[in-house]
Structure 1
């Protein structure tokens, strides 16, 4: 009886949720690349930042003890630095969504360890290969172990939406009676590996490197069955951005020659002990949901301030790296790096006490919020003014605010005011009669705001509220 029910359930699942792959099936093409936005390297450099799509995994991009980490992240950060621009990341697990972002000019690079295929070349251009990867079946050793390709017949495999794995599975056999159920889901590779371990699904497919990293600290995982042989992997760019592609290829060539790529690969793929701690720590966005040891008091302080606690955590990380005993060269101390005069003004007796230091900083932030509230009524814009004021002093930011009005721009938009804050190194502007606080390295404060908001966006995406 059971032998009759099992195939029936399999067919029912396919009809309801998935697709059946046979020798005759051709992979459907998705029309995701009709009219790509014209945006190349000169536009990106002029804009001042490059946007890249990454996956949230232990080898691509994640948060560990407040820091952003990951193989793709470090590569992209190095590329952005070489271009003299900032790096903005977009976290996606769905490759088709990533290609759409690229098409619409919302992203400039898709850095998701993409296998180069003829089908994908209809939509994107590929950089030179960054490495090679093979694909393996991920399963439980205690489950219905599959030891050969033939045993995959009539099995159901869960894969990420838009992944190359679908065509790889479909090409496994030339036998017209061979069928495999494929269920495409909007989840990442590592999320599906976790579901295998949790016995929510039986099988998934993953890049061998990623699968091995997970298998080193999960003895229950078997990743021995190869689905596809080694093939080149690269990054994707818009097909109408040849200059960006050329710059990326030049950068890849130099980093390969210098040994940088090999060193970074070793850090994330060959050091299983470090991978284990980073992935399973309570302070990892992969293994837990904590940013720091001070999350509880940060949450209390943020509630007092009316901020998302992850935004306040971003500020604390930027100031002290969550070290309550941190002291700057200028004498600023504590989690929020307050100067002695500010500590005294806001009632902090012991600057090394995490709670006192934090609440002193929060009281200072509340003061700055009150200072800017009437001038900048929109809260999201006001936060940028508050952060800049916390870094450089509200007098300098106020000067930039006045200059913005004088030159006919909108003083309620940080984008306009930050332009004039950066100009406070120019005598024409800092000697203007309406400027009271004089010369300032305003670009440092502007970058400070960007750094915190970029980090906050990562915390917001990867760490639960």
Structure 2
């Protein structure tokens, strides 16, 4: 009797926690699964920006002398221009997490060199190939040049989690009856290459382009042994974004002959440029400086109560950190102040970086005070200040009055910017409440977007 009861409860437990689990998933799974995220091209264009996951490496996306650079960055910037949207980049070091972000709608596109396989194809839709890529073994020349796989003997090879490297090595190990050990790690390929270079580990695997870029500034790396012959690499989108996929494929077809090969040569075949970009103190890859004026900018930002990287973004947008820059309209200096503004805020020599910057800071403080009562929220007020800096606070104030007249929210930039854009329309700039007349308000709205976009990049790549 006791044995019968034990058998009965064992079967019942199996049914409840084993068989029934599968049954529940099959019949009621939709109740437990999260809602599928759906947003295709029209939705992205209506939203106004595309979000792309990019890898955190020395060739994909970084800051060099204040300027955003990178192979994937320049490709994506051109794609965004084609789609007529802004570009928002999301840095993701974990490839599996990038696929999770895609499914959850945190990104619309994964812009990494991804090799198509069955597991990935079940999660997402692959574009036509951007090109072909070799996978190479990275070692130190002091360990000896590899000419056959069995020379690795029982050595350990460290590979990045989520990449195809492990499956490639496992296939070789099984087919050739090899003895090496494969260890996966969350570390990026470049971190593992650093460890090979300093002798912490002996071997790793990387895409050939990443290995080539790193070999330009590490003497003694051996990247000659190929793990696998050339294979196609692509970008991916969600399966329910067919129109985005079509637009992506059309763009890639247009860019295959000239644009993509030229960019590839710029970032992977010019070893001198790659070395300087990767080792300059004014690169987010090697240092944490944006410009030679960082200390001045930090001091000015402290007076404003701003993140210094925001003020640096404004300086970059205005002058590209060129102290003698002069615009067609006569604006001068780091923050491109007009002659009347220079005089008003005490700048005698606009080519003096200290004077020019601090004159701009005083002007920004004036604009902050001007908008403080009308727009109490700091993050919202920043956009009013930036727009005013670009087009003049009189035009932004006109847009603020129009926003109030038409019953929308005067404390949000989203609402006020719509009316600023309408200041080129006679129905609006001739309204009696408009004091400053016609303006190409869309340029100021885009200016704010550009400064904030640079700021987001600086925040992602440069420490506070």
Aligned to 1:292: 291
State whether structure 2 residue 247 is matched by structure 1 residue 242: no
Aligned to 1:261: 260
Superposed CA offset, 1:91-113 (max 9, x none): 11111121122112221110111
CA distance in structure 2 between the partners assigned to 1:295 and 1:370 by the alignment: 25
Query: Residue 152 of structure 1 contacts residue 180 of structure 1 at CA under 8 Å; is this kept in 2?
Result: no
Task: Tell me the secondary structure at the aligned position of residue 395 of structure 2.
Answer: helix
Structure number having the greater helix percentage: 2
Task: Tell me the secondary structure at the aligned position of residue 119 of structure 1.
Answer: helix
CA distance in structure 2 between the partners assigned to 1:295 and 1:231 by the alignment: 44
CA distance in structure 2 between the partners assigned to 1:177 and 1:278 by the alignment: 39
After TM superposition, give the deviation of residue 62 of structure 1 in Å: 1.1
Aligned to 1:426: 425
Q: Counterparts of 1:28-427 in structure 2 under 5 Å?
A: 36-143=36-143, 148-152=148-152, 154-174=154-174, 178=179, 180-185=181-186, 187-257=187-257, 259-427=258-426
After TM superposition, give the deviation of residue 220 of structure 1 in Å: 2.3
CA distance in structure 1 between the partners assigned to 2:457 and 2:420 by the alignment: 26
Query: Residue 156 of structure 1 contacts residue 183 of structure 1 at CA under 8 Å; is this kept in 2?
Result: no
Alignment RMSD (CA, Å): 1.8
After TM superposition, give the deviation of residue 153 of structure 1 in Å: 5.3
Task: Tell me the secondary structure at the aligned position of residue 364 of structure 2.
Answer: helix
CA distance in structure 1 between the partners assigned to 2:456 and 2:148 by the alignment: 44
The unaligned stretches of length 5 or more in structure 1 are 1-32
Task: Tell me the secondary structure at the aligned position of residue 240 of structure 1.
Answer: coil
After TM superposition, give the deviation of residue 151 of structure 1 in Å: 4.5
Query: Residue 139 of structure 2 contacts residue 203 of structure 2 at CA under 8 Å; is this kept in 1?
Result: yes
After TM superposition, give the deviation of residue 76 of structure 1 in Å: 1.0
After TM superposition, give the deviation of residue 36 of structure 1 in Å: 3.8
After TM superposition, give the deviation of residue 407 of structure 1 in Å: 2.0
Length, aligned pairs only? 431
Task: Tell me the secondary structure at the aligned position of residue 110 of structure 2.
Answer: strand
Query: Residue 316 of structure 1 contacts residue 322 of structure 1 at CA under 8 Å; is this kept in 2?
Result: yes
After TM superposition, give the deviation of residue 145 of structure 1 in Å: 6.9
CA distance in structure 2 between the partners assigned to 1:202 and 1:407 by the alignment: 68
Query: Residue 283 of structure 1 contacts residue 289 of structure 1 at CA under 8 Å; is this kept in 2?
Result: yes
After TM superposition, give the deviation of residue 71 of structure 1 in Å: 1.1
After TM superposition, give the deviation of residue 199 of structure 1 in Å: 3.5
After TM superposition, give the deviation of residue 267 of structure 1 in Å: 1.2
CA distance in structure 1 between the partners assigned to 2:206 and 2:430 by the alignment: 60
Task: Tell me the secondary structure at the aligned position of residue 171 of structure 1.
Answer: helix
Superposed CA offset, 1:315-357 (max 9, x none): 0000000000000011100000001111111111111000100
Query: Residue 36 of structure 1 contacts residue 238 of structure 1 at CA under 8 Å; is this kept in 2?
Result: no
Residues 127 and 36 (structure 1), Cα distance of their counterparts in 2 relative to 1, 3 Å cut: farther
CA distance in structure 2 between the partners assigned to 1:373 and 1:158 by the alignment: 55
Query: Residue 327 of structure 1 contacts residue 333 of structure 1 at CA under 8 Å; is this kept in 2?
Result: yes
Query: Residue 137 of structure 1 contacts residue 205 of structure 1 at CA under 8 Å; is this kept in 2?
Result: yes
The unaligned stretches of length 5 or more in structure 2 are 1-32
CA distance in structure 2 between the partners assigned to 1:299 and 1:404 by the alignment: 35
Aligned to 1:455: 454
CA distance in structure 2 between the partners assigned to 1:196 and 1:323 by the alignment: 40
Query: Residue 166 of structure 2 contacts residue 184 of structure 2 at CA under 8 Å; is this kept in 1?
Result: no
CA distance in structure 2 between the partners assigned to 1:421 and 1:205 by the alignment: 53
Residues 223 and 177 (structure 1), Cα distance of their counterparts in 2 relative to 1, 3 Å cut: closer
Query: Residue 61 of structure 1 contacts residue 71 of structure 1 at CA under 8 Å; is this kept in 2?
Result: yes
Aligned to 1:24: none
Task: Tell me the secondary structure at the aligned position of residue 407 of structure 2.
Answer: coil
After TM superposition, give the deviation of residue 148 of structure 1 in Å: 3.8
Please, which moves more after superposition, 328-337 or 193-202? 193-202
Structure (1 or 2) with the larger CA radius of gyration: 2
